[in-house]
Amino acid sequence: MVDHFGFDEDLTFQQRYLIADQYWRRDNGPILFYTGNEGDITWFCNNTGFMWDVAEELNAMLVFAEHRYYGESLPFGNESFSDSKHLNYLTSEQALADFAVLIEYLKTTTAGARYSPVIAIGGSYGGMLAAWFRMKYPHVVVGALAASAPIWQFGDLVPCGTYFSIVTNDFRKSGTGCAESIRNSWNAINNLSLTDAGLQWLSNTFLLCSPLKSPQDAVLMKNWLSETWVNLAMVNYPYKADFLQPLPAWPIQEACKFLKDPSLPDKLLLQNVFQAVNLYYNYSGAVPCLDMSETATKNLGQMGWYYQACTEMVMPMCTDGVNDMFEPQKWDFDVLSEECYRLWRVRPRPSWILSMYGGKNISSHSNIIFSNGGLDPWSAGGVTQNISDSLVAIVIPDGAHHLDLRSRNPLDPKSVQQARALEICYMKQWIKEARHSH
């Protein structure tokens, strides 16, 4: 259904899902259900090796469900993003209802699946959905693994600055002078953006596909750089990987090799900053110029996510330039609201997620594992301490963004191996308890 919560609109749409059942035990063996997030489901499927690694051990069927409005699951085809009327059904609640309906459909149409226990698994926004799915539909899933799920990055549940201070710590720990060089780069860009010659120099030095024309463009450039440092923190994995971009092992350490001397004059400092960002955008060496509009893989649905951030996914963020390496910026809800109104003719509702999913008051729920990486900025809004015996927090000190959901790798730190073992242990327990209740 396009709209699960009203009866006036009875349109339906096609939702894409992927199934792997080669290891599934046909007499009600378990189902691991990936709660798709803001992007193409095949990409999440290929980046969630953990599920493939445990399928055989658990005799599990794998299902990867695509989130409405992403990938090929477009409720109104090419019209889906045309205006706020068509976008009106892009919410986490509608997505969870899609998942519940899909599971019911699979259980009734798949021989031997009627009583299969289902476990929700997701990372990032998908991790939030996995946790919320268990909270809202406990009769549909027996438990959830919510990896790197910032379910508390809302309202004033956590300080708005922690996210960027974690990014900064990653750089601080990865090389002397590194975070300081980045902190000093903002003023260097400001100085150069005052003249046309300076803007020209910046455009040439950073190999920008479209040259900077005004100080306003330099602001966009600074936002682009900030987003680059954040993305590096998210994908600071212990081995070569290609998640948001193809990168070397421990990419922040590699980037910091270029950023050892924060006291250099503006141009020399920024030449070094270019080397560091070029590592992120051009590790393969095949990129002719750097495009400021592309910071991550094309597999993510930027438009849809921006609409969600403009409606219910309102996550306050701020920087102070002291506890972090960024230019000071207060959280300004009104600016966001005006921008959202200009773009989509909608206004964000900052406290709705708290009303809907309970904020910090979630102790009445059960069977959810919250895993977070110590290197991941999103852990700022994550659950990092146990809430009860069955609402469990697992912290992976050497882990970046949902490292535990990635495939096993010989270079995995011990902390992530232990985390996965514990996750499997809990999942087996949930499956066993589900067996007994039948």
Could you give the residue numbers annotated as active site? 124, 376, 401
Distance between CA atoms of residues 421 and 429, nearest Å: 13
Strands 31-35 and 246-247 turn out to be: unpaired
CA terminus-to-terminus distance, the chain: 30
Q: Smallest Cα–Cα separation from 385: which of 201, 158, 135? A: 158
Distance between CA atoms of residues 325 and 338, nearest Å: 27
Q: Smallest Cα–Cα separation from 223: which of 311, 317, 92? A: 317
Compute the CA torsion angle 24, 372, 42, 75 (nearest 10 deg).
110
Distance between CA atoms of residues 45 and 40, nearest Å: 9
Strand partners, 64: 18, 34
Instruction: Calculate the alpha carbon distances from 54 to 42, 122, 237, 323, 373 in Å.
Output: 19, 15, 21, 40, 20
**Per-state percent for the chain, helix, strand, coil, to nearest 5:** 45, 10, 45
